[in-house]
Amino acid sequence: MSEADHEQNTAIPLNDRTRHPNLWFEDGNIILATKFSVFLVHRGLLSWSSPVFADMLSMPQPDIMETTLDGLPGIPVVELSDDDEQFTHLLRFCYNARYYQQYMPTTFEIISALLRMSTKYQMDGLRSEIIAHLGVIYPVTIEKYVETGKPDTQLSLFPPFEGQHFAVSNLARETGALVLLPAALWKASCEPEHNISRGSVSGDGKKHQLDPLDVRKCLAIKLEYYSIYVKTSFTIPFRTPSLCVRSGREKCSKVALVLLGAHFAQTGPCDILLHWDSFDCWSNEVCAACMEVAASLFLQTRKYLWSCLPGRLDLPGWHIVASNDSQIPQA
């Protein structure tokens, strides 16, 4: 632990910190201390849970005599720089594996704390489970991404909140979870421009804001992809087959053009990788042949834009993003 971390923790005398009511075991044999809390826990359990704990707790504690709690002489105390709440979530999981279960609803506070702590303490199994869990909403394939539009998909993760995509983007960068970043930044780019630039405040009063470089990337891809969306929307109706059963003013391409004009006069940017709204406005008003070909062309375009997404965000390609060995670049 650095000198600064030590000073931060010891600013509050050890005996003045709160003994955690549920993580204070009378038969414990090691005391872990964060800034405001102390935990009497079991060395063996922690060492079994994490190789970092195993190495840390196997080392002699030179300050035992100077850092003892009243009534507990001889029990070693290890000062930690971790956030109290986040470290508490980790200990709760260590003592109760059902505290977090993959693909079961939880809270963002729990899942973000466990991802940070499992990364720091090299608990690779837990880290992989959490990243896969977050991948339900922030996947690597367009097919899985389309499923995120279902109403109940988010509920399998945690309750949605304002600024969620900004928070997940920041969490992915902080913990090196590169696989989550393209979809998270894309979803962030679908937010209103003023939210992208200034951040959003969630219901608990926390402000979630992107790094300035990620703000610029999100604004840039929002403009680029929306421009492609508009151009493609007006182009595809004229690429429908010559087999169109209509002619003259009722020809499918002309019907689509009129309806598209009305559509874009009333709507703005949307999540075009999730759904192509401009197709819906005219698909039911044209012949079956035109609708089928147009639907195929729109799908091809969306797949192409998805394949380009990491590169447009200055990230490695999908094949690298999906690799467990990939390293996350700095913003």
Please give the order of strands across the beta sheet that includes 37-41.
18-24, 37-41, 30-33, 77-79
Give every residue of the chain whose pLDDT is below 70, as ranges.
1-11, 60-71, 73, 241, 248-249, 324-331
Helices (H), the chain: 3-10, 43-49, 51-58, 84-95, 108-120, 124-134, 142-147, 164-175, 181-189, 193-198, 212-235, 252-266, 277-283, 288-312, 318-321
> How does pLDDT run across 186-199, given as a tens digit for each residue?
999 999 999 999 99
pLDDT at 43: 93
Report the C-alpha gap between 117 and 128 in whole angstroms.
Answer: 12
Q: Are 172 and 181 in contact (CB under 8 A)?
A: yes
pLDDT at 329: 42
| End-to-end Cα separation, the chain, in angstroms | 27
pLDDT at 322: 81
pLDDT at 6: 52
pLDDT at 239: 82
pLDDT at 325: 46
pLDDT at 135: 94
Is the pTM for the entire model greater than 0.95?
A: no
In the chain, the domains with their CATH numbers are: 3-99 (3.30.710), 112-214 (no CATH), 231-312 (no CATH)
pLDDT at 15: 85
